[in-house]
Structure 1
Amino acid sequence: MVNETGDFDFYPVEHSISCSSTDGKKVEIEWSDGHQSKFHFLWLRDNCPCCIHPETREPLFNVASIDEDQLIDSTSITEEGFLEVIWSKESHVSCFHPGWLRTNCFLDISNKSIPEAVTWDSNTKKKPNSFNWDEIISNPETEREWLFSLVEDGCCITKNVEPSKDGLIQITKRIGVVRETNFGLFFNVEAKTGPDTAAYTEIELPPHTDLPTREYQPGLQLLHCLKNSVKGGESILVDGFRVAEEIRSKEPETFNLLTTVPWDFGNRSTVTDYRWKAPMITLGIEGKIEEVRVGNFLRVPLQVDFELVEPMYKAYKLFETLNQEDRFKLNFRLEEGECLIFDNRRVLHARNSFDSSTGERHFCGCYIERDELWSAIRMLDRRNRQKIINSSSNE
């Protein structure tokens, strides 16, 4: 079957359309596996696969131009198995690919390509999942597991990577575009003379997210270990979503403060002045936790009504206290040639203090947005669907 859809994706036809019917306002479809779908006429007209630019495949039709009394005149199944829709009040016919329709069925929850986050603590997880770089680049299934781990667990370790900036660059190319900040596209994490951030010292760093001072915190952070022979400096991760859920279940009033009243974050630098106000916990659709924003050393004076000062500090204390509890921490040592990747808007990272006189500790880091990760997963799945279609075409 020809891949005639309104996008660049590929849609294997696992189930064919058995029959269709319409009352003018909607189309009901029964599939060969017994599944039933229902599509509104506005949605179908809006997504007509021929009303697009032939090269960009971006929509040209404006759904706002549909007359209120325009309805579906009739539907049928073509010889190729497509759903054909004939529209009233305009000489237009839409043909919908069955694979595309099934993928976009509102009632089929199995079509979700991006997995859900699975929260963890030190009882359910002892160390981030590890993946071998050579296997990632040679086996699409391993690559998929690697990318999925970053969504489900929010972290993983990539082993046997060249211990250099070039090694880190190769990993980024597998995920997406690097986000530049005032620290550059890539930055070196090591003890420096005249540091402009606590990360460039030897001191212990408490659990935090990077750049809570920005309107949009970086999505993923990559920290690639080039050298690590010092005494101390062990890495620590905390699932901020897990901690937030603990507060939600046991201290709902505190959770409400942390999700509705903004804290003030800011950097203290001689050359930049980044500031942002936001709650420490951000909720999305249906109350789902989407982001945590934590950085004790990146706070500026709190600006709230006087009556909220004490409750806010109590809420902050609870969140910080839980982040420091061993039951939420993963403790491990990153070795040369290992790259730690984590969701910076979910997983808090920390480190123990270290002594530079005992050796070297040099990491190379960068940021990539969550969007790039999600795109990489979808593109990997798209290539797999293309292989399935090509394979069936050659049979």
Structure 2
Amino acid sequence: MLRFFGQCAPSARRARRFADMVNVTSAPCSNIRCAAASVKEDGKRVQVEFTDGAEFELHGLWLRDACRDENFVSEVAGERYLTRTAFKEKQSHADGKVADAKVVEGSLQVKWANEGSLSEVASIFPSNFLRTYAGVVGRHLKGDRHHTSKEAYRWLEPYSGFKGAPAPDLKLKSLFKSDNFFQRRDYKAVINSDESNLEMAQALVRHGVVIMENVAQAKDNSVLLNFVDQCLGG
């Protein structure tokens, strides 16, 4: 049995993980694709147009830092390759300049300038990822700034790490009282279903306590680590 107590506010990284699950379960941006892309300001920015009519300029350095494909993030560990981060402690920092940008199968493909061996790397940004964040980090040019799916993410806004993020809405909280029962969720259901995982995360944020039942037995901490990595964003 696993118990999770405390304030239980997800970190920005966990918030991104839960945002990804919203994409999977409700697919709010699944019908949105990148329609066109072009390099601006000598590679400093990329202009992206989406099929819903929205258009933004995204800073190249933000794209470089936000890239999460297999060239920059280990699929096994879920962590960035330290030698490929945009900002390094001792080595030269990436300048985020873009050499080429185009749409490939509805997603944005970027090639980097001034990156040595990485200059030949084609980085892919899924359209739903870009459309979700463009309204927050991009220079809005036309169309609706935020996609209609914004409401599905409102419960995560206080934990986004963005400047001006609102305080948690007390209407979305359920203060624990002595006559309340602890929230309980089935371990197998949560670990095998993105929808159940998302619902558990929302319950954890709302109630502050969730007890996981029917947890697999193990003599070491492997089950706990796997659960935290897979279901709580690490």
TM range (shorter): 0.3 to 0.5
- TM-score relative to the length of structure 1: 0.31
Higher CA-based Rg = 1
| Greater share of residues in helix | 2
Higher strand fraction: Structure 1 or Structure 2? 1
